[in-house]
Structures are given as C-alpha cells and as structure tokens.
Amino acid sequence: MLVIRPIALDDLDALLEMARTAGAGFTSLPPRRKTLRDKIALSLRSFDETPERAGHQRYMFVLEQTDSGAIGGCCAVEAACGLDEPFYNYHVGLTVHASRELEVYGGVPTLYLSNDLTGSSVLCSLYLAPDFRQSGTGRLLSKSRFLFMAAFQQRFAAKVVAEMRGVSDDNGKSPFWEGLGRHFFNIEYEQAEHIVGQGNKACIAELMPKHPIYTVLLPVEAQAVMGIVHPQTAPALQMLTQEGFRYQQYIDIFDGGPTVEAPLPEIRSIKRSQLTTLAAGSVDPAAAPCLIANERLHEFRCVLAPLQWQDEQAVTTAAAIDALRLDEAATARFVPP
C-alpha cells in the first residue's frame, strides 16, 4: 500500500535519486547530497518544535510503498517564507500610456520586483517518480499536505502559495531566463538553478533590476511563457486550481512560472476535512477512495483508501488502518470524495 509519512535520514539516497531525475526548473530539490541532508535535518527539527505561529519550519514528506519500502515521491511545506531574506516574485502589473490630444491609449504589461508574498506558507518540493505515476498517486502525494495542515493549522500562515515550475526545453533552457535574467548574469540557467537550490535565491534577485520592466521589450519567446507552467507541472496546477488556488499575477523571477495562492481555511481539502473514528471491515471495492490521515505529528500518515459508513460507523480496510498506524476506533481525518 502507498502511504505518506515524514521524511527520515534513511531516505537521503532515495531523495538524491529523485532530485537527479527531476530535471531543470526544480530548484527546491537540487541534486546535492549535503543540501538534501540539510533539508531533511531541517524537517526533523521542525517536527520537534512547538511554534506558536508559522516560522522557519519546513515539513517534508515521502511517498512509500509499504510492501517493498520503495520511496516514490516527496513533497514539503515551508511554514513561512521570506523571514531571513526577501522572498522575491515579479508582479505582472499594467502601465497605461494615454494622450487625449493624440488620441492614443494603450496598456503595457509591466514587471515589478515584489516581496508581497512574504510570510506566506509555501507548498514545495513535489515530485513523483515515473514508476509511481498511476491513478490517484499524485492526488495522494499533493493533497496529503492539506490534511497535515488541517490538523496543525497553528503551524502555518493564513495564506498558502505555490510556485509552479516554469517552461524550459529538453536541454534545460528557460526562454524567460534567456530573455531577461541572462542580461544581468553571464551564467547558464542551470547554474542559476544551482545557486537558487543552495538557498541563495535572494543574492541573485537583489542584482536584478529594481525598476519596472516593460514586457514588450522582452523577446517574444520570453513573453509567451510568462505565467505558464512546464508541461510536467500542468497536472499539479490543475489539482491546486480544484483546491481553490488562483493565479494573482505573480511569477517566478527566473523561469516566469506562475505563483498561485489561497487562504488556508478556504483550501477545499482543509475546509471539507472531517474527524471521525475508524474501524476496519469489509468495504465495497467500488467505493470511492478518500484521503485519510491520522492526527499524530511525528507519526503522521496519510493514505488513499475506500471509506464507507456502516451503521453510523466509518469503516475502511484493515490495510489502511495498519498503514495509518491506528488502533481500532482511533480518530482520523478524512476528505469526502
């Protein structure tokens, strides 16, 4: 059975392999052993802390096949961004040029370097290995974070954002970087990615032009990918859209990918999640699967399994109960289908 659980130090090799196969644009998971080890260590510390509000914590999870122990994916939530260094995005605004005498009126999309999303919680590091890309797995991996956030809302900010991977070609070239960033840094996009992956995004952003940038001055190729996701990221964006996330004209300063956002209490899976006691029993195989999670911090588990009501009792499979590490009639949180 597939289960989501907090990452452990023993997962380092599997995490490194996923980072190596993720491809260009996945800056939150750089293929560097020390960097990934540091990310795991931060996650372990975060689970051990008892913060009164969102801070520097970062909670990371992996997808595990319980039968084989194979790791097939990962995801994370950063509790609050921009607390140690500025969190930069471009806000796509509009500059209007008009002259009544000349009967001229026109609006030009304009990029403004922004820190507007500072303090928001950030969904990040979502990756599903090709061998695990089957029906329902992506949903489990992505949405499991919402059940964790629903159980421990005090650990997160009122707004949740997700920076979606922007467009790059098979060779790792980003049209947006080539059209804008390269003019200020004589380095390849892959090198810029490496610097960002090491946690040094702000040092590059602070060398970007502080003045507004008229997008009409950028190459057509760069303009065309602003706010557009990489094809491999499109399913993740669709899932977040269904959860109530919206694009509010913020894009990544490196690849132009969109940033989407939602108020935490209004995220669909959080808003619709319910607490119940669970019992193991016979469940109709045709029953719609639900996201089900326990309410434990360090031992958090989440699965996708059928759930039915029988004589006012929530019933799921014995395998799901075991994967969740729940005792009979223990409290769990679930999201109706």
Exposed (0-12), middle (13-18) or buried (19+): which is 265, by Cβ within 10 Å? exposed
Helix (H) or strand (E) run with residue 113 in it = strand 104-114
Name which CATH class applies to 273-335: mainly beta
* CA gyration radius, the chain: 22
71, amino acid identity: I
Which pLDDT score is estimated for 267? 98
Given the residues 56, 183, 211, 230, the one annotated as active site: 230
The domain 2-91+113-269 having CATH identifier 1.10.10.60: the answer here is no
Would you state the pLDDT for residue 23? 63
- Whether pLDDT at 141 is above 80: yes
Most confident of 66-70, 133-137, 156-160, 281-285: 156-160
Residue 189 pLDDT > 90, yes or no? no
- Give the least confident one: 28-32, 112-116, 164-168, 219-223: 28-32
Q: How far apart are CA 203 and CA 199, in angstroms?
A: 9
Mean pLDDT of 119-123: 97
User: What does the pLDDT read at residue 20?
Assistant: 87
Topology agreement, domain 2-91+113-269 and domain 273-335: no
Please state the separation of Cα 295 from the chain's center in Å.
21
Q: What is the value of pTM for the model shown?
A: 0.90
Residues 85-101 pLDDT 10s: 888 899 999 999 777 87
Look at residue 27 in the predicted model and tell me its pLDDT. Answer: 65
Comparison of pLDDT for 113 and 187, the residue scoring more = 113
The answer to whether the beta carbons of residues 301 and 5 sit under 8 Å apart is: yes
Average pLDDT over residues 154-158: 97
Going from the C-alpha of 54 to that of each of 14, 77, 104, 124, 155, the distances in angstroms are 29, 11, 49, 16, 5
Enumerate the β-bridge partners of residue 102. Answer: none
What's residue 293's pLDDT?
Answer: 97
Q: What is the mean pLDDT of the chain?
A: 90
Taking residues 266-288, what's their average pLDDT?
92
Supply the pLDDT for residue 332: 95
97 is catalytic: no
Which string of b and e fits 15-54 if b means at least 16 CB within 10 Å? Answer: bbebbeebebbbbbbbbeeebbeebbebbbebbeeeeeeb
pLDDT attached to residue 196: 64
What is the band of 103 on the pLDDT scale with cuts at 50, 70, 90?
Answer: confident
Provide CB contacts within 8 A for 257, sequence distance 6+.
25, 163, 164, 165, 166, 167, 227, 228, 229, 230, 233, 251
CB 221 within 8 A of CB 174: no
Sketch the domain layout of the chain as residue ranges.
2-91+113-269, 273-335
| The pLDDT value given to residue 24 | 54
More confident residue, 259 or 193: 259
CA distance 83 to 71: 31
